[in-house]
Structure formats: structure tokens, C-alpha cells
Amino acid sequence: MQSKPDEVLMEAEKLWLAGDAEKARDAFARAQQLYREANDRGGEGQALMLLGDLELRQGDMDKAQDCYVKARCCFAPEGDQHDQGAILARLGELAHRRGDTGEARNCYESARDLLHAAGDNSGEAHCLKRLGHIERDEGHHDTARDLYRQARNLYQRAGDGLGEAHTLRALAGVLRTLGQPDRARLALEQSLDLLRGQGDILGEAGVLTALAQLLRSMSQRDEARIRFEEAKEMHVRAGNLRGEAEILLELARLEAAEAPDTARQHYERAAELHARMGAQDMRQKLLKELADKLG
């Protein structure tokens, strides 16, 4: 039988998944208070960690950090390596977003050690992937490649297909930069295989887009067109107007030289979508590009 704090925490998670951030925030705070009154430090830390995740998703990094630091204090006396590692990984993400790569690297490496000790392969893989992002952003593509490969192996061991798929997409990016397009293509195709049927529509659309861009750079225009069209349909299914508009622009530029009438339709549709989103500046920019390229 669930305790009252557990019930409130579960309700908070349901509200968040339903998109009601304000009610979810209040429920997480209420769960935290109930755990504190029950002297359940681990439960209080979980509530604070999830509240921090919500604040981070809402774009408030200061509130997120405050929640994570408090959660870490709750977990410390419990000695739970998994929870402490999870909090350090989140603090690493915050540091990276703020541009403090030194602190981010320290947090991720400490989190990795704790998660490794806890036997959490997926959590350890997440830290390796994030360390790979840091190395990639600093231009150390060989190091990033090796970290992504280590992360992929751990995700495989954990049976975490989504984690593996997103790592493969990151790996493909550095392989392309390193001048290995065939290996990059293989990584993206493997990522697609893992994502299909997982329900991550936007993730799948992102990989399709990356694959189409790679194929275009390899002068495989017909295949690139097919992949762009598939990505567009994914965005349409998800109701993601911005994503649909971005793919339409990719298609317009792809078709401009050989199929100007089709390209014009794509430009006009993309401009219309930006107008619907209230992005009038982007609409005008697209119409100007249309006029410049196609008259």
C-alpha cells in the first residue's frame, strides 16, 4: 500500500506528463513536505530531484540548481550511490549549459564513478555521452567518438534502446566531422532501427533529418529527398509546426535547381507555417529567399 507522500509524488508526475506544470510544481513541493514530516530523507530527495527536473524543463536553471543541491543533501546521509550519481549528473548538465565545462566535467566524472559502483549501466552511459558532448563542443572529435562508443556499449548492456539510439546520432555527427560519411550513415541507420516503434516521433524525425543532410552532402539527392519527406511526415503527425517548416525549407533548397515549381511550393508552405506561429520575421526572410532564388 502506498504512503500518502508516495501518492502525492505519483500525482505530481502524472500532472507533469499531462503538461500542467503549475499544478505539478505544487504537487512536487507538497510531496517534499510530506516526506520531510515523515522523516523520509530519500523520498524528500526524490521529490526535490523531480521538481528540479521540472524547473530545468521550464528554463529556470537557478531554481533547478537549488532543488538539486537540496536533493543532494538529502541523499548524502542515505549513502545511496545511484541517487547521488543521478544528482551529480544533473548538476553537470546545469554547469554545461552555463558554459562551465570544467565543473560539468568534474560532475559527470564523479557521477560516472558512483553509477558504475551502483551497477547502473544506463546511468553511467548517460555520463559518458555527456562527457562526449563536452569534448565534441571543444573540438576534440576523436575523444568524443571514443566516449560515445563506450556509452553505446553500456546502453546495449543495459538494454536501453533509446539511450543507444541517441548516442548513435551523436556518434554519427562526429564521424561526419572526422570525414567518415559511410560510418556516419551506418550509425544513423542503426539509430533509426532502434527508434522505430519506441514512440519517440520527434527523435526519429531528428535522425531522419540528420541522415537526409548527410545523404545530400554525399550527392545522393533522391535518397535525401525521401528521408526529408519521411521526417516532414513525422513532424506533421506530432503537430510540430516549427519542425515541419524547417524540413520544408530543407526540401525547398534541395529542389531549387532542378524542380523550381516544387521548391516554390515548399517555400510558400514554410512561410505560411511561420506566419501561423507568429514568426513574421522568419516568414519575410523565407519569402525574400524565394524571390532571390526563384524570382
Residue 1 has pLDDT above 80, yes or no: no
* Mean pLDDT of all residues in 174-191: 98
Dig out the grid coordinates for 60 from the structure.
529556470
Dig out the grid coordinates for 43 from the structure.
523520498
- Using CA of residue 227, residue 230, residue 234, residue 239, what is the dihedral sign? positive
Nearest-5° angle of CA 226, CA 229, CA 232? 155
86-139 pLDDT per residue, tens: 999 999 999 999 999 999 999 999 999 999 999 999 999 999 999 999 999 999
For the 1-115 domain, the top CATH level (class) is mainly alpha
Query: pLDDT at position 277, please?
Result: 95
189-199 pLDDT per residue, tens: 999 999 998 88
222-246 pLDDT per residue, tens: 999 999 999 999 999 999 999 999 9
Q: Is this structure's pTM higher than 0.75?
A: yes
SS3 content of the chain, % helix, strand, coil (to 5): 85, 0, 15
Of 243, 232, 285, 290, give the one whose Cα is nearest residue 263: 290
- At a CB cut-off of 8 Å and minimum separation 6, what does 76 contact? 84
Residue 270 has pLDDT above 70, yes or no: yes
